[in-house]
């Protein structure tokens, strides 16, 4: 308990012992009441489907209020002592209630056992598990280490390899309680080989091979290389510069997947690539480098925060606390997804735009889901937000009529004045959605093209002012 909680608990106890009229009422009996109501309160919250992010302070307050109410029935006896302690301002937050999480764990245990049995059955069918067997996938491949190191220095002079890696064009898989290798790469070697082979084809066709390496310390790396069909000597002699250009593009797309994983997206590599390639973008390493760096720092910070939470939850047993926090995250993600599914975007005639937009904003800032990052919550409602933008643009088109100038003003207000959108979807992504939604609007095409270019330039200049190196992108837009 914190000092604040301990002080309140002591005052509640003193009040009960002072005013209780029971014969032989002792501190020992009172402690038994607290213990009993603690269990009852946890079960009651679970029955009410209360999210597992209840703070320890708020949970203690609920227990104290119920123990007081058990001893002094204020409804039946108006003269009985009043519970005068205010509720904590923060209902959801750290440190979380260990009692409530442990109760939820007990209720989840049968489901967990079923999952474990299913997982064990899956392992029995496979020759080995990605998570436990040291491997190299696809088997038998070798990296062109010497040339790759040279190519890295040519493409990215002075830049070190990715964090955690001692080889060029490699990433360290950022596995943690949110991102699981069996879901991102595959549950067994056969499935993993299939996913990696397909991902390599999506990245660079027949010219690129993607290699998964598990080291003796358990760390898993994904490494990009040239397929054996590529004449590396010819590429090195600059006889086929196009191969290098396509290889660089493949690396940038792999980095895009890496960013998604670093930010907590537990998604299969091929699924992620399909989405990235669907909205194919021109890749610039300086911008992608900044994005990877930011995501890496966020990932490290998330890990440190979970360690802090585990020690706050169970100072003497952080290992079990990690299990509780992992269960908490799974439960909250499920609750958040169900809640997000309730948000419906009607057609333009029936859309209350501000109501739906504010509902999405409330969702991504909901304290009940705070164990998920803002980025993860935004991903949960990304489809709904995209639909909302589409229908809103239809409304704006109707409002503008045939006036291109008015339509441009309405678009500017949408992108630059409605700052609440920055919580729901990043500005550049929002602009991309606008561009895709308006691609078929022939009557406003010149206006849309000019507007998109101008807004994108303004956004990138703003990023530059924030210290992000986007000079290559700016140069490309200003040519």
Provide the pLDDT for residue 440.
Answer: 83
- DSSP-derived letter for residue 89 is S
SS3 46: helix
DSSP string for residues in 369-421: GTTS-HHHHHHHTHHHHHHHHHHHHHHHHHHHTT-HHHHHHHHHHHHHT-TTH
Q: How far apart are CA 152 and CA 353, in angstroms?
A: 48
CB atoms within 10 A of CB 472: 14
**What is the distance between the alpha carbons of residues 212 and 409, in angstroms, rounded to a whole number?**
50
**Are 138 and 54 part of one and the same domain?**
no
Provide the pLDDT for residue 184. 93
Q: Are residues 288 and 401 in the same domain?
A: no
Task: Please indicate, yes or no, if residue 228 is contained in any of the structural domains.
Answer: yes
Answer for the pair 464, 474: CB distance below 8 angstroms, yes or no.
yes
Residues 247 and 293 in one domain: yes
Helices (H), 220-373: 232-236, 241-262, 269-278, 285-313, 318-341, 353-364
Is residue 384 domain-resident? yes
Please tell me whether residues 280 and 326 are part of one structural domain.
no
Q: 26 lies in which domain range? A: 3-102
Pair (291, 338) in one structural domain: no
Which pTM was predicted? 0.69
Predicted pLDDT of residue 230: 83
Same domain, 89 and 14: yes
The whole-number pLDDT of residue 32 equals 92
Q: Token pair for residue 79? A: 């003269």
What's the pLDDT score for residue 375? Answer: 87
Asked which of 246, 269, 299 is the last residue of a domain, the reply is 299
Inside any domain, residue 310 = no
- Rounded CA-CA distance 275/263 in Å is 16
Both 149 and 17 in one domain: the answer is no
- Measure the CA–CA gap between 103 and 8, rounded to whole angstroms: 24
Spans in the chain with pLDDT lower than 50: 112-133, 282-284, 472-479
**Domain assignment present for 121:** no
| 113 is a domain residue | no
Residue 32 lies in a domain: yes
Q: What is the DSSP string of 55-70?
A: BHHHHHHHHHHHHHHH
Do 193 and 336 share a domain, yes or no? no
- 238, 350: one domain: no
Q: Are 443 and 420 in contact (CB under 8 A)?
A: no
Please state, in angstroms and as integers, the Cα–Cα distance from residue 378 to each residue in 299, 383, 430, 441, following that order.
Answer: 17, 10, 12, 28
Same domain, 201 and 273: yes
Which alpha helices (H) appear in 20-169, and where do they start and end?
27-47, 56-71, 98-125, 145-155
Q: Where does a domain end: 252, 271, 299?
A: 299
Identify the pLDDT of residue 285: 52
Query: In terms of residues, how long is the chain?
Result: 479
Question: How do residues 380-422 score in pLDDT, each as one tens digit?
Answer: 999 999 999 999 999 999 999 989 999 999 999 999 899 999 9
pLDDT in tens, 278-294: 755 544 455 567 778 88
Contact between residue 470 and residue 463 where contact means Cβ atoms under 8 Å apart: yes
Question: 68, 87, 102 — which closes off a domain?
Answer: 102
- pLDDT confidence of residue 142: 77
Residue 251, in any domain of the structure? yes
CA gap 250, 46 in Å, rounded: 47
- Give start and end residues of each alpha helix (H) in 314-372: 318-341, 353-364
Closest CA to 181 of 136, 122, 131, 217: 131
Distance CA(116)–CA(108), nearest Å, equals 12
Express the helix, strand and coil content of the chain in percent, nearest 5 each. Answer: 65, 5, 30
Q: Which residues pair with 211 in a beta bridge?
A: 223
Whether 14 and 75 share a structural domain: yes
Work out how many domains the chain is built from and give that number: 3
- The number of C-alpha atoms within 13 Å of 190 and in the hemisphere containing its C-beta is 6
**291 and 321 in one domain?**
no
Classify residue 122: in a domain, yes or no: no
pLDDT at 159: 86
């Amino acid at each position: 308990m914190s000092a604040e909680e301990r002080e309140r608990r002591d005052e509640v106890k003193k009040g009960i012992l002072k005013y209780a009229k029971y014969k032989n009422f002792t501190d020992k009996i009172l402690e038994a009441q607290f213990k009993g109501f603690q269990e009852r309160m946890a079960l009651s919250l679970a029955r009410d489907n209360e999210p597992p992010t209840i703070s320890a302070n708020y949970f203690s307050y609920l227990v104290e209020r119920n123990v007081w109410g058990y001893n002094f029935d204020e409804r039946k006896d108006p003269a009985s002592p009043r519970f005068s302690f205010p509720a904590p301002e923060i209902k959801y937050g750290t440190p979380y209630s260990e009692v409530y999480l442990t109760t939820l764990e007990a209720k989840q245990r049968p489901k967990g056992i079923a999952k474990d049995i299913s997982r064990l059955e899956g392992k029995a069918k496979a020759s080995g598990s990605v998570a436990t067997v040291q491997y190299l996938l696809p088997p038998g491949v070798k990296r062109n280490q010497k040339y790759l190191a040279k190519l890295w220095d040519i493409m990215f002079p002075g830049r070190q390899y990715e964090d955690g890696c001692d080889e060029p064009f490699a990433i360290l898989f950022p596995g943690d309680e949110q991102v699981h290798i069996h879901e991102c790469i595959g549950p067994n070697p056969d499935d993993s080989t299939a996913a990696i082979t397909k991902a390599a084809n999506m990245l660079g066709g027949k010219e690129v091979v993607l290699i998964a390496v598990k080291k003796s310390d358990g760390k898993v790396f994904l490494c990009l290389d040239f397929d054996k069909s590529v004449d590396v000597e010819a590429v090195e002699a600059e006889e086929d510069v196009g191969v290098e250009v396509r290889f660089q593009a493949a690396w940038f797309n792999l980095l895009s997947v890496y960013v998604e994983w670093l930010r907590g997206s537990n998604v299969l590599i091929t699924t992620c690539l399909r989405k990235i390639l669907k909205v194919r973008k021109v890749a610039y390493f300086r911008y992608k480098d900044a994005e990877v760096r930011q995501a890496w720092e966020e990932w490290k910070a998330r890990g440190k925060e979970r360690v802090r939470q585990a020690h706050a939850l169970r100072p003497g047993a952080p290992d079990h606390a990690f299990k509780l926090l992992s269960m908490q995250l799974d439960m909250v993600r499920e609750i958040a997804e169900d809640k997000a599914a309730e948000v419906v975007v009607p057609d333009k005639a029936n859309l209350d735009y501000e109501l739906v937009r504010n509902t999405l904003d409330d969702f991504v800032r909901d304290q009940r889901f705070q164990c998920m990052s803002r980025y993860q919550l935004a991903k949960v409602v990304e489809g709904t937000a995209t639909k909302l933008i589409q229908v809103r643009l239809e409304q704006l088109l109707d409002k503008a009529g045939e006036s291109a100038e008015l339509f441009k003003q309405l678009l500017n207000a949408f992108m630059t004045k409605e700052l609440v959108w920055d919580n729901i979807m990043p500005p550049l992504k929002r602009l991309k959605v606008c561009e895709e939604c308006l691609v078929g609007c022939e009557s406003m095409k010149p206006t849309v093209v000019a507007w998109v270019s101008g807004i994108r330039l303004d956004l990138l200049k703003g990023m530059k002012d924030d210290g992000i190196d986007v000079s290559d992108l700016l140069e490309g837009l200003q040519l």
